[in-house]
Chains A and B, each alone.
Chain A
Amino acid sequence: MMIKAYRFIKARDYLMRAVFMLCAAFSILALACICVFLFVSGIPFIGRIGFSNFFGTTWHVDSQAYGILSMIVTSLYLTALATFIGVTTGLLTAICLFRFCPKRLIPSIRQMVNLLAGIPSVIYGLFGLIIIVPFLRDYVSPNSIGFGLLAASLVVSIMILPTIVSVSLDALNAVPRSYYEGSLALGATSEQSVFKVVVPAARSGILAAVVLAIGRAIGETMAVIMVIGNSPVMPHGLFQSVRTMTANIALGAKELGGDAATALVSTGVVLFIFTLLLNISFNLLRGGEKREKKRTQKTDT
């Protein structure tokens, strides 16, 4: 009797373990599926229409020109610009919240920032469309075009701001207090201690914030498509209608069929490879730093 019960329990343990393992394996399976489906439909197409066509500068569906180089360049420009604006402002904000702002304000601002981090990107896009684009068009742009890289960069940088503030503030707070106090004890001013000691000590966490920002900026679709103008040309200025890879995919998603639809999948493959490279290089960088057990990186993308 006892042995039977014991066997049952043992069997149940094995069974559940297998079930949990399957669950865990699902992520691997999902990732593999994503890779396989994207690559199988996207890569042969690039081969078929030719490498130079696909990485050319002309996207013109009617004449079978599916060049996405201009979109790659635009995506990179947008990412660089938005990350630069977002990270600079966000990091400085986090430093201010860390030590240079009235203590009473910190909890409420933090809470607000955390709440804002959850705002859907499409709302930032709408804000861009009804506020930023008309504003740039009427008061800033030299050529009456509000759409373009600047509008998109502003929208995306506002969008990633709460995440950057939140993550870098966590990183600053994770630096042992003794670093700051030690620096003070050696005669440094509070500002010196923060900028010269605490910030450098938090650099791996700040790096995580930057990578997160880059990932969100390069992958952002809806906020960008509403404000960037979507002309498939090389970017030459801030006030010029251009198109990112993400916008290309979303814009054509329901309107195009046949080869053009496959070209969108191939665009997705390129975007996917970019994000994979980003992840890998970040992991290498992080691996290069001391292997900390504590995961400072947060789950937002």
Chain B
Amino acid sequence: MKKNAHKRQILKFAVLKNITRAALLVSLIALVSVVAFILIRGLPHINMQLLFGEYTSRSPSLLPAITGTLYIIVISILIAAPIGIGSAIYLTEYTNSKSRLIRIVRIAVETLAGIPSIVYGIFGYLVFVVALGFRYSLIGGGMTLAIMILPVIVRSTEESLLAVPLALREGSFALGSSKVRTIFSVVLPCAASGIVTSLILAIGRVISESAALLMTIGMVVNKVPENFASPGTSLALNVYYFGSHGYPEEAAATAVVLLVLVMSINILATALGKFFGKGELAHG
């Protein structure tokens, strides 16, 4: 009786094991087919005109999107990197001071990380587009994304700062260095690779983002932006625009460009992490 139940349980789990294998297969097929289909549909339509040509409605070009994406990366990283790294330093190096503040900061960072990007989009629209009068502009979009990637930078920078051995700091203090000097000449150089990796991951997020930009930069797909204050578009936004405005081939081609870009950024981040022996940081 009991033995029978036992056998049945063993059998049940053996079946379950095979179900997990089926699940693995399903997952792989699903994910591989996404990439494969995008490549099959998009690759034949990639050409110089699409990438760098002049935009005409008959033969659209990604030049405005590429320029816009670069602008947005620059703006958001310039704003978010110093603030994010600064917060991470405060959270790790000054832990013994006001711990209450640190707890609130942690909660704020966690909460920011959980807010959907479309809500950032509304916020960016209300603040930058309307209240500050920037209208639809790359700078408004960049600032919105800066807030959005802040949690990414804070968290991964914090991790790489924590990975710096305490002994190094103590050694520096023992030699008479001040706290600031210790941070800048001992802790930060040691954590540099991790910080760079975190910034690369943040750039990946910026490139991938579309919903928040839809509300803030105007999706002007046909004009290369003149400066930070111009309205514009991004590669991810162009995938949506082309997809829903009767340019399916261009949409797939744009998706391929985006895919290659994001993949190479992730590979770069992983490689950097490995190179400096901190592979853990790369899985963001």
Query: Using a CB–CB distance below 8 Å, which chain A residues touch chain B?
Result: 9-10, 12-13, 16-17, 19-28, 30-31, 33-34, 37-38, 41, 88-90, 92-93, 95-97, 100-101, 109, 111-116, 118-127, 129-131, 158, 161-162, 165-166, 170, 189, 191-192, 194-195, 215, 218-222, 225-226, 246, 249-250, 253-254, 264-265, 268, 271-272, 275-276, 278-279, 283, 298-301
CA A170 – CA B283 in complex, angstroms? 10
For A28, the closest partner residue in chain B by CB is: B108
Residues of chain A within 8 A of B93, CB atoms compared: 20
Question: A100-B20, A125-B243 are known contacts. Are A19 and B259 too (CB-CB below 8 A)?
Answer: no
Measured between beta carbons, the chain A residues less than 8 angstroms from B122 are 38, 249, 264-265, 268
Evaluate whether A275 and B114 lie within 8 angstroms (CB atoms) in the complex, with A158-B30, A195-B16, A222-B240 already known.
Answer: yes
Given known A-B contacts A130-B41, A253-B215, A119 and B236 have beta carbons under 8 A apart: no
Docked Cα-Cα span, A116 to B35, in Å, equals 9
Interface CB pairs A-B, < 8 A, 22: A20-B86, A24-B101, A27-B108, A37-B123, A93-B24, A93-B26, A100-B17, A100-B20, A101-B21, A116-B35, A118-B266, A126-B255, A130-B251, A158-B31, A158-B34, A166-B283, A219-B115, A222-B210, A225-B240, A226-B244, A265-B122, A275-B116
The answer to whether B23 and A271 have CB atoms under 8 Å apart is no
Number of A-B contacts (CB under 8 A): 289
Q: Is the CB of A271 within 8 A of B17?
A: no
In the complex, chain B residues whose CB is within 8 Å of the CB of A20: 86-87, 89-90, 93-94
State in angstroms the CA–CA spacing of A122 and B90 once bound together.
Answer: 36
Minimum CB distance partner of A211 in chain B: B114
Given A23-B84, A34-B120, A158-B34, 5 further pairs, Cβ under 8 A: A116-B34, A120-B209, A246-B118, A272-B119, A299-B284
Question: Do the beta carbons of B110 and A279 come within 8 Å of each other?
Answer: yes
Structural contact, A218 and B108, CB atoms closer than 8 A: no
Interface centre among A124, A162, A301 (most CB of B within 10 A): A301
Expressed in whole angstroms, the minimum distance between the Cβ of B219 and any Cβ of chain A is: 7
Q: How far is the CB of B264 from chain A (nearest CB, A)?
A: 10
The contact of A37 among B30, B127, B180, by CB within 8 Å, is: B127
Contact across chains for B90 and A219 when beta carbons are under 8 A apart: no
Tell whether A271 pairs with B236 under 8 Å between CB atoms, given A114-B270, A123-B34, A195-B13.
Answer: no
Name, among A24, A109, A130, the residue most crowded by chain B CB atoms within 10 Å (CB to CB): A24
CB neighbours (8 Å) of A113 from chain B are 31
The answer to whether B10 touches A191 (Cβ under 8 A) is yes
Query: Smallest Cβ distance from B140 to chain A, in angstroms?
Result: 13
**B272 CB, nearest partner CB in chain A, Å:** 14
Residues of A within 8 A of B87 (CB): 20, 23-24, 26-27
Residues of B within 8 A of A264 (CB): 122
Q: Is B229 an interface residue (CB 8 A)?
A: no
In the complex the two chains form, what is the Cα distance from A301 to B208 in whole Å? Answer: 12
Stretch at the interface among B51-59, B70-78, B152-160, B167-175: B152-160
A8 to chain B, nearest CB (A): 10
Min CB–CB distance B183 → chain A (angstroms): 8
1/0 per position for B68-103, CB-CB distance to A under 8 A?
000000000000001111110111011001000110
Contact between A12 and B116, CB atoms less than 8 A apart: no
B254-271 vs A: 1/0 string, CB under 8 Å?
010011001101110010
Residues of A close to B244: CB separation below 8 A: 129, 226
Q: In the complex, what's the smallest C-beta–C-beta distance from A94 to chain B, in angstroms? A: 9
Chain A positions within 8 Å of B109 at CB level: 27
Known contacts A130-B41, A218-B116, A279-B114: does B23 contact A23 (CB below 8 Å)?
A: no
* In the complex, chain A residues whose CB is within 8 Å of the CB of B62: none
Q: How far is the CB of B40 from chain A (nearest CB, A)?
A: 10
Q: Which residue of chain B has its CB nearest to the CB of A244?
A: B118
CB of A191 within 8 A of CB of B14, answer yes
How many chain B residues have a CB neighbour from A under 8 Å? 102
Flag if B127 contacts A191 (CB, 8 Å): no
Contact of B17 among A191, A219, A254 (CB under 8 A): A191
Q: Does B199 contact A (CB under 8 A)?
A: no
Complex: chain A residue closest to B176, CB-CB: A9
Q: Which of B16, B116, B179 contacts A191 (CB 8 A)?
A: B16
Report the minimal beta-carbon distance from B281 to chain A, rounded to whole angstroms.
11
B24 pairs with A96, CB closer than 8 A: yes
- Cβ–Cβ contact B116 & A192, under 8 A: no
Quote the shortest CB–CB distance from A9 to chain B (angstroms): 5
Chain B: minimal CB distance from A188 (Å): 9
Given known pairs A119-B262, A122-B210, A222-B211, the reply for A127 and B26 (CB within 8 Å) is: no
A116 and B246 alpha carbons, distance in the complex (Å): 27
B9–A192 CB distance below 8 A: yes
Q: Which residues of A contact B126 (CB under 8 A)?
A: 37-38, 41, 265
Once bound together, how far apart are the Cα atoms of A301 and B14, in whole Å?
35
How far apart are A164's CB and chain B's nearest CB, in angstroms? 9
Q: Which residue of chain B lies nearest to A116 when distances are taken between CB atoms in the complex?
A: B31
Q: Does B192 contact A (CB under 8 A)?
A: no
A250 in contact with B118 (CB, 8 Å): yes
Task: Tell whether A221 pairs with B117 under 8 Å between CB atoms, given A38-B126, A265-B122.
Answer: yes
Q: Are A279 and B27 in contact (CB under 8 A)?
A: no
Residues in chain A near residue B105, CB distance under 8 A: 24-25, 27-28
B118 to A254, Cβ gap below 8 A? no
B38 contacts partner chain A, Cβ-Cβ < 8 Å = yes
